Amino acid sequence: MNGDLSTLRSGDVAMGDELPPLEIPITATLVVAGAIASGDYQEVHHDAELSKSRGTKDIFMNILTTNGLLGRYVTDWTGPDALLKAVRLRLGAPNYPGDTMTLTGKVTAAAEGEITLEIVGANSLGNHVTATVEVALP
Amino acid sequence: MGEGRGELETLTQQTLADRLRDEFVGKPIGEPYEARDPVSLPMIRSWCDAMGDRNPVYSDEERARESIHGGIVAPPTMLQRWTMKGLSNEGPPQAGGLGSRLVEALEGAGFTSVVATNCEQEYTRYLRPGDHLTGTTIIKAVSDEKKTALGSGHFIESQITWTDQTGETVGTQMFRIYYYKQAEKQPSSTAPRPRPAISDDTRFFWEGASGKELLVQRCTSCATLRHPPRPMCANCRSLEWEPAPMSGRGSVYSFVVHHHPPVPGFDLPFVVALVELEEGVRMVSNLTGVTPEEVSIGMPVEAEFVPVDDELTLPLFAPRSAG
């Protein structure tokens, strides 16, 4: 968020527009803080030893945090007066601490203030998330 | 009696997916559950702190008042947060949790591993502090048995609908989870590395590797180097030779990336490289310490002696800085 309250207007956005990439360092703090903020106490999101004993490399990000990061990525770009209407996501490679997820996105539909974005969050293992987000612009 | 047997046959032929669909699809899981707490600023703040979300409509009273919302609202992506039970055992199932009878049926059939694959939320309106939600979960679909890279299993689709204190729907969420049996592990580096066939001609090479020396045959008549080892010099036809230590430095002359089929003792994908040593001979080996995408022809490499066990040390090649 750049600090001002300006928001993209429907006329400002066209199909094919790209969102600026956002790099998110995946830290254990982010994974744990996201899990707690979302009320998700599954051990694989905070207990590294137990996660390893269950065959994963480390703790990994929960789906609600991924959802929250997508929401942030979109409104960082649109500005605060845009309305999120839907977030549809598909999960792929896990987000483990030490990795970096880079979010990229583009506008795939824009009509009468309703825009659709295709967003990909990629880490060193592949695509962590692919998502379609619907937004209403003022 | 014949009729009775027909019925039995029909029953036994019914698949697990059919049985689960009959019993669960279209039905709610338990009673609607009320959130323990209403939508609140402290919970919004801890969410925004974790996500790094500084949108002022979520946290800045003054600027939120000037916005389209006219006051603080919750991030819509928090929707499911409001009815999560946290560490308490009261309330609704965890994220994507299913009724215990459905979980038991799946686990009983051996589908004991679980992974969330899809989450699709739709927001009817933004929530404000004080809104108090109630969620209702319905099983929407049970897939036939599928095969994926993880193993075979069933996709279970559930839908949560949230209503507010007035009974109005504020949002929905489709959640798809995959219950599966873990696939047989691919052969990997945990399998023993294949052993080289060691002959009188090649023994010096492997013994050299054990001592961290890269040895190549040198003709004692004309001093021509040759590799792989063989009895006769192709230059002067002499049968006399001696092992000559190499510097271990070279460059990638050519390479292939092996993706398939799996090979016991190797993690896929791996790089098979033809390395040209600075002394001039070429040698087939694996590259280590580099991803297949990073390998290029001409890349400077250096021998690395990797002990496999007490008897075997492999001369592999790793990238080195040029010069």
The full 3-state SS of B14-68, as one line of letters, equals CCHHHHHHHHHCCCECCCCEECCCCCCHHHHHHHHHHHCCCCHHHCCHHHHHHCC
Q: What is the pLDDT of residues A43-83, one digit of tens each?
A: 899 999 998 887 788 999 999 999 999 999 999 999 999 99
- Residue B266: exposure state from Cβ atoms within 10 A (0-12, 13-18, ≥19): middle
> Average pLDDT in the B63-71 region?
94
Kindly determine whether residue A88 and residue B120, on different chains, have CB atoms separated by under 8 Å: yes
DSSP at A38: T
What b-and-e string marks burial along B70-82, b requiring 16 or more CB atoms within 10 Å of the CB? eebbbbbbbbbbb
Kindly determine whether residue B81 and residue A63, on different chains, have CB atoms separated by under 8 Å: no
Q: What is the pLDDT of residues B220-270, one digit of tens each?
A: 999 999 999 999 999 999 999 999 999 999 999 999 999 888 888 888 888
Distance CA B323, CA B318 (A): 15
Share of chain B above pLDDT 90, in %: 59
Nearest CA in chain A to B95: A40
Rounded to a whole number of angstroms, the distance from the CA of B198 to the nearest CA of chain A is: 37
| pLDDT band, residue B87 (cuts 50/70/90) | confident
| pLDDT band, residue B4 (cuts 50/70/90) | very low
Q: Which pLDDT score is estimated for B273?
A: 95
CB atoms within 10 A of CB B42: 9
State yes or no: pLDDT of B169 exceeds 90: yes
> Average pLDDT in the A102-108 region?
97
Distance CA A134, CA A118 (A): 9
Among A23, A32, A87, the strongest candidate for a mutation testing the B interface, having the largest count of B CBs within 10 A, is: A87
Among A26, A27, A32, A63, the strongest candidate for a mutation testing the B interface, having the largest count of B CBs within 10 A, is: A63
Could you give the count of Cα atoms lying within 13 Å of B8 in the half-sphere of its Cβ?
5
Q: What is the pLDDT of residues A7-36, one digit of tens each?
A: 899 889 999 999 999 999 999 999 999 999
A42 within 8 A of A62, measured Cβ to Cβ: yes
Among B33, B46, B47, the strongest candidate for a mutation testing the A interface, having the largest count of A CBs within 10 A, is: B47
Chain B residues touching residue A39 (CB < 8 angstroms): 81, 84-86
| From A65, A69, A90, residue closest to B118, measured CB to CB | A90
- Closest among B26, B32, B28 to B141, alpha carbons compared: B26
Distance CA B58, CA B126 (A): 11
Rounded to a whole number of angstroms, the distance from the CA of B281 to the nearest CA of chain A is: 36
Q: Which pLDDT score is estimated for B1?
A: 41
pTM for the predicted model, two decimal places = 0.67
Peptide bond just before B261 cis, omega within 30 deg: yes
Show the tokens assigned to A22. Answer: 């956002």
B306 within 8 A of B314, measured Cβ to Cβ: yes
Kindly determine whether residue A41 and residue B87, on different chains, have CB atoms separated by under 8 Å: yes
Q: Domain limits of chain B?
A: 15-57+74-80+94-180, 203-215+241-319
What b-and-e string marks burial along A70-80, b requiring 16 or more CB atoms within 10 Å of the CB? bbbbbbbbbbb
Nearest CA in chain A to B120: A88
Give the fold, CATH level 3, of B203-215+241-319.
Answer: OB fold (Dihydrolipoamide Acetyltransferase, E2P) (2.40.50)
CATH class of B15-57+74-80+94-180: alpha beta
Q: Which pLDDT score is estimated for B95?
A: 39
Domains of chain A as residue ranges with CATH: 10-136 (3.10.129.10)
Kindly determine whether residue A42 and residue B86, on different chains, have CB atoms separated by under 8 Å: no
Let me know if the fold of B15-57+74-80+94-180 is the same as that of B203-215+241-319: no
Q: At what angle do helices A63-78 and A28-37 cross, to 10 degrees?
A: 90
Kindly determine whether residue B47 and residue A69, on different chains, have CB atoms separated by under 8 Å: no
Kindly determine whether residue B77 and residue A68, on different chains, have CB atoms separated by under 8 Å: yes
Kindly determine whether residue B116 and residue A91, on different chains, have CB atoms separated by under 8 Å: yes
Give the type of residue at B189: S
> Average pLDDT in the A92-119 region?
96
Distance CA B111, CA B151 (A): 9
